[in-house]
Amino acid sequence: MERKIQYVIVSLLCSFFFTPAVLADDRLNAPLLIRVGAYENKPKIFTDESGNVVGLFADILNHISKEEGWQLEYVHGSWSQCLKRLEENEIDLMVDVAYSEKRAQKYHFTNVTVLINWAIVYAGTNQKIESLIDLNGKRIAVMKASIHTEGVEGIKSLAKNFDINCRFVEVESYQEVFERISRGEVEAGVVNRIYGSLFSQAYNVRETSIIFNPRHLRFALPKSAALSPLLSKRLDHHLSELKKEPASIYNKALYIYLSGLPRELIYSEPETERAGKRVILSSEEAAWIRDHPVIRIGVDPEFAPFEYITSDGSYDGIASDYIAILNERLGLHMQLAVTRGWKDAVSKAKTREIDVLPCVGITRQRTGFLKFSKPYINFYRVIITRTDNPFLTGLEDLENMNVAVQADTSHEGYLQDNTNIAPLLYDTLQEGLLALSNEQADAFVGNLTSSTYWIRKLNLTNLKVAAPVSQETQNLHFAVRDDWPVLVGILNKGLSSISEQEEIEIRKKWINIEYKPGISRRAFWRYTFQIGGVVLVVFAVIMFWNYRLKHEIHKRIQIEKELFEANQNLRALDRLKSMFIASMSHELRTPLNSIIGFTGVILQGMTGPLNDKQHDHLSRVYNSAKHLLNLITDVIDISKIEAGRIEIFRQEVNLAELVDEAVITIQPQLRDKKLTLQTSVSGELVMHTDKKRLLQCIINYLSNAVKYTESGTIAITARQIDDRVEILVSDTGIGISQEDQTRLFDAFERLDSHLRVKEGGTGLGLYLTRKLATEILGGEVLVRSREGRGSTFGLLLPIGADTAASH
Ligand code: ADP
């Protein structure tokens, strides 16, 4: 009764204000209660565990109503009950109603389509079913009373119109359709595209290019309600806006529901932080870490703020913060080893009593026994002189001078490599500076940050920073004993995982604060006496320098902040790009599949005879569309991997059976080219991995082998090597030059050859294979080839659950 009154009032208001002016900004007068028919049809609309109505359509509607200030009341019922209520004006709205002209006579539809749904034929993975004609003589599971089974454009009438003789096995649900296909009780089955895309992988069934019966799903409203035109106008307005915006709730919901990802993701902000922390280790790296429970590090006890030993003997400084993160993230145990100072640490690194020097520059000498990670800290190398020294412009002015430098540092190496200077060597940085201050040397070369720190600390007021050594910054790296190259790779991966924000935090912590490194008692008294002799003449110069330094640091922090923000925006955009590509590509498959399906039908002469020209032209359409479909399918896979959204389904895989399955797929091309095929895979070889993705990799290699081989043999071998499996696909084809082999696995790389045009290709196959093999299957790809002699492409993958990448 109350509702009726509300309707009367709203109708009156509507007719009263129904003028163009109102239409221009026709937000409905809120708050308005809207009753919505709710039924169970996952993932489009369904009730979650807490009783909320959610789903692709419901989430979009909930969002729109929040924007409009509407209040929604979901009225639960079955699909047919809901439709009946709509017809009788008992509810105001139904989501997910397929538009048809017949229905449009009964209901008021929105103009904008929310989603197009259609039926797809799925088949067993070993079935060669590509066009309608291939269904001849097959058993096909279909859902009872479904519009895709019985409707005018359903599979039954389609089969009848094309004279296809198949047996329909009627079942109760889409789930049963897939179960029957995967048990091999039927060769194929029909489901709607949404169910198909969500569950085909779990049942290991294959999508064919046979699609039919596209339906525009829209919102439907009661025909007679006064509210309907206005309500549907607002819905249309929101829908078209939401569709345009790639990051809108509409596009996110579409992507997430159609890929079967958790619903919460729709509402989560891009997690750039977490993404930054992902470290994917190869199984070799993981095994290396297991085999090396402790890594001994040798440090410079007096290299503040980069690294130093505090008065209570613990390790501190910028490098120690990096080590803490790397230890935690990589599962390493880098531990401080006992040394007698920096020189001792370096010589112990030479004899491998120490494994890692965590904070060093690269010098020629050091490369003789160490390998370096990428840089993670940089600094300026500068020349320090006494204030009474003449003006200097650079290293050139130091020839014939006594130049002090700390022994075994990158500065010593730098002078050796770039000048003829024979420097005076000091064990510690402080000793070098004191020598300069005491006029035992004319200049000192060291790094700006720690030198100015010690000048201030030791109050060496007769010293000044005279000139930079070069405009470039010098870098600090982790140095690893050179028989441990694997550790360098691991450290690099760990360093890349450290986000900009974390780096900024570390720097903020160490710049502009007082460090309290311990100095030995002896050194303390020695310094104290020496410092006592030094006068405070040029204190102002250092103050000035400090001021400049602070200013510079402030500027750098500001720039770093801006960079960080820009980077974050870029990452968010990148994720959106991947999401957008994935959902757009999904939509592109619709028209393409129908082009392929129907040109296939026409080409086979089922709709009447074709003359040669027509046949030729149509074949081009058919081949181009297939090419485009392959491209889109690859792009979808790549963008899913890049967005970190590909799900991994591990199961027992008998390798011999899987290879047979791959061979069946490329059999027609093999036969056309008259190539022979040899397989050598032990029937016992069982892996625990993602079957579909492994199959995809093998098929990619195999079809390349067939494409790029004109005569001879293609061989597939697989063998177990420890806890890994090596799968090799060899051919006797055109081969690949040494130089080209390096860029083979990059995106869109197609090499020049006489087969390039003849053999179609996207240049994405190997790129995708590498991504799948490394990022999904946790292994690696290999290639060996000689030009004109043939190629061998390989996969080296972990055999079991323990070693496969699960991050
Ligand atoms: P495409 O779709 O072009 O085959 P791929 O990424 O699969 O793209 O391969 C990239 C390029 O690598 C190919 O264009 C081809 O030049 C070369 N290639 C791949 N496999 C072989 C092979 N077995 N023998 C010779 N060249 C090959």
- Tokens for 184, please give them: 């091999």
- Say whether pLDDT at 805 is over 70: no
Of 704, 744, 746, the one to substitute when testing ligand 1's pocket (max ligand atoms within 8 A of C-beta) is 704
Of 708, 709, 748, the one to substitute when testing ligand 1's pocket (max ligand atoms within 8 A of C-beta) is 708
Alpha-carbon span 21 to 171, nearest angstrom? 54
Tell me which range, 121-130, 244-253, 570-579, is most confidently predicted by mean pLDDT.
121-130
Atom of ligand 1 nearest to the CA of 752: 16
Q: How far is the CA of 574 from the centre of ligand 1 (A)?
A: 28
Atom of ligand 1 nearest to the CA of 744: 12
SS3 304: coil
> Sign of the C-alpha dihedral, residues 638, 639, 641, 642?
positive
Q: Is 761 in the pocket of ligand 1 (CB under 6 A)?
A: yes
Q: Is 731 in the pocket of ligand 1 (CB under 6 A)?
A: yes
CB neighbours of residue 264 within 10 Å? 8
644-697 pLDDT, tens digit per residue, is: 777 788 899 999 999 999 998 888 888 888 899 999 998 889 999 999 899 999
Q: Is 631 in the pocket of ligand 1 (CB under 6 A)?
A: no
Q: Is 794 in the pocket of ligand 1 (CB under 6 A)?
A: no
Alpha-carbon span 678 to 705, nearest angstrom? 13
Alpha-carbon span 235 to 3, nearest angstrom? 21
Atom of ligand 1 nearest to the CA of 709: 24
Regarding predicted confidence, which is higher, 535 or 612? 612
Q: Is 446 in the pocket of ligand 1 (CB under 6 A)?
A: no
CB neighbours of residue 558 within 10 Å? 10
Atom of ligand 1 nearest to the CA of 763: 8
Long-range contacts of 321-328 (CB under 8 A, 24+ apart): 321/506, 321/509, 321/510, 322/358, 322/376, 322/495, 322/498, 322/506, 323/297, 323/358, 325/494, 325/498, 325/502, 326/491, 326/494, 326/495
Kindly report which listed range (17-31, 652-666, 741-755) carries the lowest average pLDDT score: 17-31
Which protein residue's CA is at the shortest distance from atom 16 of ligand 1? 751
The C-alpha angle 638, 642, 644, rounded to 5 degrees, equals 120
Q: How far is the CA of 742 from the centre of ligand 1 (A)?
A: 13
For position 67, what pLDDT does the model report? 87
Q: How far is the CA of 51 from the centre of ligand 1 (A)?
A: 53
For position 471, what pLDDT does the model report? 60
Q: How far is the CA of 764 from the centre of ligand 1 (A)?
A: 9
The mean of the pLDDT values for the chain is 82
DSSP string, 27-64: ---S-EEEEEEE--BTTTBEE-TTS-EESHHHHHHHHH
For position 793, what pLDDT does the model report? 97
Among 729, 731, 735, CA closest to 680: 729
Q: How far is the CA of 429 from the centre of ligand 1 (A)?
A: 57
Q: How far is the CA of 748 from the centre of ligand 1 (A)?
A: 10
Pick left, alpha or beta for residue 763 (phi over 0 → left; psi -120 to 50 → alpha; otherwise beta): left
pTM, entire model: 0.40
CB neighbours of residue 308 within 10 Å? 25
For position 39, what pLDDT does the model report? 87
Which protein residue's CA is at the shortest distance from atom 11 of ligand 1? 750
* Residue 428 DSSP symbol: S
Secondary structure (H, E, C), 508-541? HHHCCCCCCECCCHHHHHHHHHHHHCCCCCCHHH
In terms of DSSP H, where are the helices of 184-248? Answer: 193-203, 228-244
779-789 pLDDT, tens digit per residue, is: 999 999 999 89
Q: How far is the CA of 772 from the centre of ligand 1 (A)?
A: 17
Structure confidence at residue 313 as a pLDDT band (50, 70, 90): confident
Which protein residue's CA is at the shortest distance from atom 25 of ligand 1? 735
* Residue 250 DSSP symbol: H
Q: Is 763 in the pocket of ligand 1 (CB under 6 A)?
A: yes
- Tokens for 285, please give them: 């790296």
621-634 pLDDT, tens digit per residue, is: 988 888 888 888 88
- Which amino acid is located at 144 in the chain? K
Which protein residue's CA is at the shortest distance from atom 7 of ligand 1? 765
Kindly report which listed range (206-210, 606-610, 653-657) carries the lowest average pLDDT score: 606-610
496-514 pLDDT, tens digit per residue, is: 888 877 887 887 777 544 3
Q: Which residue's structure tokens are 């919102």?
A: 219
378-424 pLDDT, tens digit per residue, is: 777 888 998 887 777 778 888 888 999 999 888 898 888 888 899 99
Q: Is 750 in the pocket of ligand 1 (CB under 6 A)?
A: yes
Q: How far is the CA of 303 from the centre of ligand 1 (A)?
A: 52
Q: Is 699 in the pocket of ligand 1 (CB under 6 A)?
A: no
Q: How far is the CA of 765 from the centre of ligand 1 (A)?
A: 8
Which protein residue's CA is at the shortest distance from atom 18 of ligand 1? 704
Q: How far is the CA of 254 from the centre of ligand 1 (A)?
A: 34
- Say whether pLDDT at 482 is over 60: yes
Q: Is 736 in the pocket of ligand 1 (CB under 6 A)?
A: yes
Q: Is 762 in the pocket of ligand 1 (CB under 6 A)?
A: yes
Q: Is 765 in the pocket of ligand 1 (CB under 6 A)?
A: yes
DSSP string, 557-595: HHHHHHHHHHHHHHHHHHHHHHHHHHHHHHHHHHHHHHH
Q: Is 705 in the pocket of ligand 1 (CB under 6 A)?
A: yes
Buried b (16+ CB within 10 A) or exposed e, 334-366: bebbebebbbbbbebbeeeebbbbbbbbbbebb
199 burial class (0-12, 13-18, 19+ CB within 10 angstroms)? middle
Which protein residue's CA is at the shortest distance from atom 4 of ligand 1? 761
DSSP string, 672-709: HHT-EEEEEE-TT-EEEEEHHHHHHHHHHHHHHHHHT-
Alpha-carbon span 170 to 167, nearest angstrom? 10
DSSP run (H or E) holding 356: strand 356-360
Q: Is 790 in the pocket of ligand 1 (CB under 6 A)?
A: no
Regarding predicted confidence, which is higher, 470 or 345? 345
Q: Is 708 in the pocket of ligand 1 (CB under 6 A)?
A: yes
Atom of ligand 1 nearest to the CA of 766: 6
CB neighbours of residue 315 within 10 Å? 19
| Percent residues over pLDDT 70 in the chain | 86
Q: Is 703 in the pocket of ligand 1 (CB under 6 A)?
A: no
Cα 678 vs. chain centroid, distance in angstroms?
Answer: 37
314-363 pLDDT, tens digit per residue, is: 899 899 999 999 998 888 999 999 888 899 999 999 999 999 999 998 88
Alpha-carbon span 240 to 243, nearest angstrom? 5
- Say whether pLDDT at 275 is over 50: no
Q: How far is the CA of 80 from the centre of ligand 1 (A)?
A: 54
- Which amino acid is located at 703 in the chain? S
Tell me which range, 176-190, 544-558, 735-749, is most confidently predicted by mean pLDDT.
176-190
Which protein residue's CA is at the shortest distance from atom 8 of ligand 1? 763
For position 382, what pLDDT does the model report? 84
Q: How far apart are the first and last CA of the chain?
A: 57
Atom of ligand 1 nearest to the CA of 755: 16
CB neighbours of residue 483 within 10 Å? 11
Kindly report which listed range (57-71, 246-260, 700-714) carries the lowest average pLDDT score: 246-260
Of 766, 770, 771, the one to substitute when testing ligand 1's pocket (max ligand atoms within 8 A of C-beta) is 766
Q: How far is the CA of 703 from the centre of ligand 1 (A)?
A: 9
Q: How far is the CA of 695 from the centre of ligand 1 (A)?
A: 18
- Say whether pLDDT at 71 is over 70: yes
For position 649, what pLDDT does the model report? 86
Alpha-carbon span 319 to 305, nearest angstrom? 9
Q: How far is the CA of 763 from the centre of ligand 1 (A)?
A: 7
- Say whether pLDDT at 2 is over 60: no
| Percent residues over pLDDT 90 in the chain | 35
- Tokens for 703, please give them: 């079809």
For position 9, what pLDDT does the model report? 41
